Structure 1
Amino acid sequence: MIYKYLTDKRKIGFKLLLMSLFILLASVVGIVFKKMGFPETNIVIVYLLTVLVYARLVDGIAIGIVASILATLAFNYFFTVPYLSLSVLDSSYVITFVIMTVTSIITSTMTSLVKKSELIAREKEAESNTLFKLTNQLTDAYDIEVIASIVVDALTDRFSTNAAILCFDEDGTPENAYVQRNKAGDQVCRNVKEKKEIKRKIENLHESYYEGDEFHDWPIYGRESILGIVRIPLEEAQKMDEIQNRLLHSMIESTALAMDRIRVSNQRIREREEAIQERYRGTLLRSISHDLRTPLAGIMGTSEMLLDMTEAIDQRYILIDNIYNDAKWLHALVENILCLTRLQEGKLVLKKQLEVVEEIVGSAVERFLLRAKGREVIVEVPEEAFSVPMDAKLIEQVLLNLLDNAHKFTSIDSEISIAVGILKTSRIALFTVKDSGSGISTLDLPHVLDQFYTGKNENSSSKSGMGLGLSICDAIIRAHDGTITIENRKDSNGLEVTFSLPLEEQIND
């Protein structure tokens, strides 16, 4: 409209002035018609047409009603007896005035409503076109930065302002810079100040946007976290009406969907790469392990034969004994690697059956003492024998790994113990392995069950392993529907490892 850039007061004054000019023009045309001998009905139609045209040009139903009443008064003033007066001598004119006024009001109102509907339809069409264009562009976007660039251009063009976008990383932290289009039409990166403050305000936001010193910030919410914020300069944001706000929210939703799509795609790519790497690693470990088993078995057998053939006082005995012990260590490591690959590939099938706990513990301790000569192990089991459903070979492997781990991190004269008990209320069997070493640092403790994690311990031997023993124990125990916990001892120095196995109903109380 002509007056769309004027202030509200100027708009009202302009509308009244335009109304007066239209009524005056209609009156002049009516006077011409009267001198030409046209009937009064033609003059009435001129006034109706004037009201209709005026209502088409201006906004608002009220102003149209005022124009209708003013047109009726003008007709009465100029074209009814007595002329140039608002008095009415002929009562029949009253009906004419009423009909004229009602007709003018209805015509003006309908015109205003049609015009408003047309305006709403145009706005919805523009909104749909904007969203359609934005969605098409976002569909082809292959990166978060590209999405930000597209949306900044779309916002700037639609709202005629220097819009900006600040993206968040996958941890929900604002990035160091945000993208904004300047007055020259170029996109520039501006440094972000007070990232922590922005994150705090957005996370604690209770409204649709946050009002800052320079921008209004609208959050872009993803399915799991905040993806970023849309920034509209303060002055332009304060002038936005309801329709513009609705369009902005729709554009933000489209942006969130596009960003989520990129995040999910990137996550799938990472997971696929990790799966490929894990498969390659498992294949490599399995291949190496199988290749090492045969020569290790030969080394162990040959060195054991040489030990039997050599006197203990012979200097060569110690050399052969070291070869034998190193071969046993490597053989145990290979077995752990093979066990790990079977667990990861789901090829390790449990053969659970009721096993006497005392026999399993005794067998594990016996195998351990063959490896750690000169070491003593304190064993505590209930006097009454009881059985637990388990895969005996795997649980024995768990106990052996725990004992080996305790042996590596404690001196030869330090205490190692195994204790077995029953929690009848929870119907579980508890196995606890304790040592008297230096324990594990608080930094390493949360990671000791991770694969290939090896903490630093000054008491450990040079053959501290690859960080597989405890992770294998954890996988085996979880396969038995049990749990395993590792913590430093509270009663003395050392480490305490406890794992649980569920009992069957047949256990005698």
Structure 2
Amino acid sequence: MDQKNELIYERIKDSILTLALSLLALTIGFVFALINAPTDTTVAIYFLTAILTAALTSTRYYGFFTSAILTLGYNFFITAPKFSFSKITPYMLIVSGLMFLMSLISSSIMSRVRLGEQLARRRQKESQVLYHLTKDLSTAETVDEVVELTLNNIADVFNTDCRMVFFDDDGKVKPTFTLMKNHTIQKDVPINSQRDYKKYKEKPPKGYYYNEQQKQYEWPFFDRHQKILGSIAIEEKRVDHFNDFDFRMIYTMTEATGIVIDKLMLSKEQAQAQLEVERERYRTNLLRSISHDLRTPLTGIIGTSELLMELLDENSQEYELASSIYKESSWLSALVANVLSLTRLQNHSMNIKKEVMVVEDVVDSAIETISLRYPERQIVTEYPQDVLTCLVDPALMKQVIINLIDNAIKYSPPTEPIEIMVNEEFSSHNVLIQISDHGMGLDRQEKIDAFKMFYTTKSDTGAKVKGVGLGLPICQSIVKSHDGSLVVSDREDKTNGAVFTIYLPKYDQQTSL
């Protein structure tokens, strides 16, 4: 039996009960009048009947109706002349009025008691429903389990079909939903693709939405950041019989479901993050272990090939082979050093020894080292008149500049110079070191990917430059450890090429003191 039929049935039952009690009291009053019983006894019975009616019926109006009937009965059976409404005296009106008023007060009090009892039962029911739902949800380990438990609880408590839809991270509804129909779960039901869910961006003022197109009420639930997660829907024809208590209970159940789903999703994200951390740690340890194991044989190979080059004729084929071994081993040794530097930086185990250095001296030292490797390449410098100093680790900053110059050489034509400029940015109190090349430059996406580990690009000849994409990430990590930044941009003269700029805090002796 639905709520509408239950309400009709309850009203009919209360009406019959009111009439029956009123007739019974009037009959007793009539009998007592015939036998000339004391009027106090009849009045007491009338009062008792009014109170009993208020206690046994659902609203106070039935008690009011009984009080009115019994007041008329008092006038008819007790006051003189008996069995007649004629000759109504002021005294009779006062007595009848007082009796009616006392009956109303009694009925009102009993109705309030009954209402309080009903509210207590409702609160108890709500507590029981939420307790069972929370107890069930506490054992759920997946979102699918939460969906089934919630829909089952709603179907059992309200004896209704219901459904649940979900939204993705972008706030768009997913293509299928879960339906509870006739107490049976149906998964992956296709959703109406024409439905507009834009209003789901915010919480509804009343806690629910009404959808005119679907003819259903919908209770959305959100995560801890107030982002839509999903929605529970019930058909209009079922909700029409809900009272305020039912609406509140559905809302509370929906909120509980949202909290549990958000908690499960957060746990999944934390587990995924923990897994990523473990993977990164294993990868770093593996790289460090391999790099350490490679350094010893590489040192031997480099030393041996260098010794062979000294003993062999420069024009011989053997010298050429030894030179090739030396170059390849040196490149691999530099790669191993980069890997070790990167793992130390990521583990925060690199020993950074900062000291006050003149920026031009660090740049000149890097140019001197790179010139031994590329003696034929032209490097043009531009320094300011003022001496600029920074608090840096000279060896690490030299490594950064060498890597950037080496990159510029690899991506520039042999005839074009590499340009290095040192300057001061007065607005931010930073020192700038700019390394510019004449290569093909970087597009927008390449500028974003350039500092990602293992990312490499091709030179302007189309050939892939030798490397594994660790140089720029290492440079960026070292610069960041000096409270600076490394950025890439296009050349200001609109010609092809890229400009890598190092920003370092300028050392101010007065401020440092």
> Normalising by the residue count of structure 2, what TM-score does the alignment of the two structures yield?
0.91
Amino acid corresponding to residue 472 of structure 2 in structure 1: L
Q: How many angstroms does 1:126 deviate by?
A: 0.4
**Residue 316 of structure 2: which of 305, 314, 317 is its match?**
314
Number of the residue aligned with 2:247: 245
Number of the residue aligned with 1:504: 507
> Equivalent residues in 2 for 1:357-506 (5 A)?
357-455=359-457, 459=461, 462-490=464-492, 491-506=494-509
Q: How many angstroms does 1:451 deviate by?
A: 2.1
Amino acid corresponding to residue 129 of structure 1 in structure 2: Q
CA distance in 2, matches of 1:320, 1:373: 20
**Residue 339 of structure 2: which of 331, 337, 340 is its match?**
337
Number of the residue aligned with 2:84: 85
CA distance in 2, matches of 1:192, 1:370: 69
Q: Secondary structure at the match of 1:164?
A: strand
Query: How many residues align structurally?
Result: 506
Per mean C-alpha deviation after superposition, the further-off stretch among 181-190 and 81-90 is: 81-90
Confirm or deny: 8 A CA contact 1:201 1:210 kept in the other structure: no
1:197 aligns with 2:196: yes
Number of the residue aligned with 1:218: 219
Confirm or deny: 8 A CA contact 2:155 2:183 kept in the other structure: no
Q: Secondary structure at the match of 1:444?
A: helix
CA distance in 2, matches of 1:150, 1:455: 53
Q: How many angstroms does 1:123 deviate by?
A: 0.4
CA distance in 1, matches of 2:364, 2:93: 119
Q: How many angstroms does 1:180 deviate by?
A: 1.6
Q: How many angstroms does 1:197 deviate by?
A: 3.4
Q: How many angstroms does 1:346 deviate by?
A: 0.8
Q: How many angstroms does 1:429 deviate by?
A: 0.2
CA distance in 2, matches of 1:205, 1:262: 21
CA distance in 1, matches of 2:86, 2:12: 29
> Equivalent residues in 2 for 1:33-112 (5 A)?
33-88=32-87, 92-112=91-111
Q: How many angstroms does 1:95 deviate by?
A: 4.3
Q: 1:397 to 1:93 in 2, by over 3 A?
A: same
Q: How many angstroms does 1:217 deviate by?
A: 2.4
CA distance in 2, matches of 1:437, 1:196: 52
Output one character per residue of 1:383-414: Cα deviation in whole Å (capped at 9) or x when no partner: 33332111111111111111122222233223
CA distance in 2, matches of 1:196, 1:435: 54
Of all paired residues, the percent bearing the same amino acid is 32
Q: 1:2 to 1:28 in 2, by over 3 A?
A: farther
Output one character per residue of 1:160-189: Cα deviation in whole Å (capped at 9) or x when no partner: 221222233455443332212112533433
Output one character per residue of 1:422-449: Cα deviation in whole Å (capped at 9) or x when no partner: 1234221001111111112322221221
Number of the residue aligned with 1:157: 156
CA distance in 2, matches of 1:47, 1:458: 108
Q: Secondary structure at the match of 2:161?
A: coil
Confirm or deny: 8 A CA contact 1:485 1:498 kept in the other structure: yes
Confirm or deny: 8 A CA contact 2:447 2:488 kept in the other structure: yes
1:143 aligns with 2:131: no
Confirm or deny: 8 A CA contact 2:162 2:233 kept in the other structure: yes
Per mean C-alpha deviation after superposition, the further-off stretch among 340-349 and 499-508 is: 499-508
Confirm or deny: 8 A CA contact 1:440 1:457 kept in the other structure: no
Q: Secondary structure at the match of 2:5?
A: coil
Output one character per residue of 1:340-390: Cα deviation in whole Å (capped at 9) or x when no partner: 100111101321111111111011112222223422221212233332111
Q: 1:171 to 1:295 in 2, by over 3 A?
A: farther
Q: 1:195 to 1:443 in 2, by over 3 A?
A: farther
Structure 1: tracts of 5 or more residues without a match: none
CA distance in 2, matches of 1:188, 1:88: 78
CA distance in 1, matches of 2:85, 2:461: 114
CA distance in 1, matches of 2:496, 2:142: 53
Confirm or deny: 8 A CA contact 2:439 2:460 kept in the other structure: no
Q: How many angstroms does 1:143 deviate by?
A: 0.9
CA distance in 1, matches of 2:135, 2:203: 31
Output one character per residue of 1:58-103: Cα deviation in whole Å (capped at 9) or x when no partner: 3333442233123201221233222343334565444432332122
Confirm or deny: 8 A CA contact 2:457 2:464 kept in the other structure: no
Q: Secondary structure at the match of 2:321?
A: helix
CA RMSD of aligned residues (A): 2.7
Confirm or deny: 8 A CA contact 2:410 2:459 kept in the other structure: no
Q: Secondary structure at the match of 1:354?
A: strand
Q: Secondary structure at the match of 2:443?
A: coil
Output one character per residue of 1:19-54: Cα deviation in whole Å (capped at 9) or x when no partner: 444323321222223334432222222222222232
Number of the residue aligned with 2:5: 5
CA distance in 1, matches of 2:341, 2:164: 51
Q: How many angstroms does 1:3 deviate by?
A: 10
Q: How many angstroms does 1:106 deviate by?
A: 1.6
Q: How many angstroms does 1:16 deviate by?
A: 5.8
Amino acid corresponding to residue 329 of structure 1 in structure 2: W
Per mean C-alpha deviation after superposition, the further-off stretch among 214-223 and 79-88 is: 79-88
Q: How many angstroms does 1:156 deviate by?
A: 1.6
1:281 aligns with 2:279: no
Q: 1:316 to 1:16 in 2, by over 3 A?
A: same
Confirm or deny: 8 A CA contact 2:412 2:460 kept in the other structure: no
Amino acid corresponding to residue 223 of structure 2 in structure 1: G
Q: 1:495 to 1:239 in 2, by over 3 A?
A: farther
CA distance in 2, matches of 1:40, 1:443: 101
Amino acid corresponding to residue 217 of structure 2 in structure 1: H
CA distance in 2, matches of 1:120, 1:196: 39
Q: 1:211 to 1:414 in 2, by over 3 A?
A: farther
Q: Secondary structure at the match of 1:429?
A: strand
Confirm or deny: 8 A CA contact 1:439 1:495 kept in the other structure: yes
CA distance in 2, matches of 1:321, 1:2: 93
CA distance in 2, matches of 1:186, 1:193: 19
> Equivalent residues in 2 for 1:231-310 (5 A)?
231-310=233-312
Q: Secondary structure at the match of 2:196?
A: helix
Amino acid corresponding to residue 220 of structure 2 in structure 1: P
CA distance in 1, matches of 2:245, 2:54: 23
Number of the residue aligned with 2:25: 26
Structure 2: tracts of 5 or more residues without a match: none
Amino acid corresponding to residue 117 of structure 1 in structure 2: G
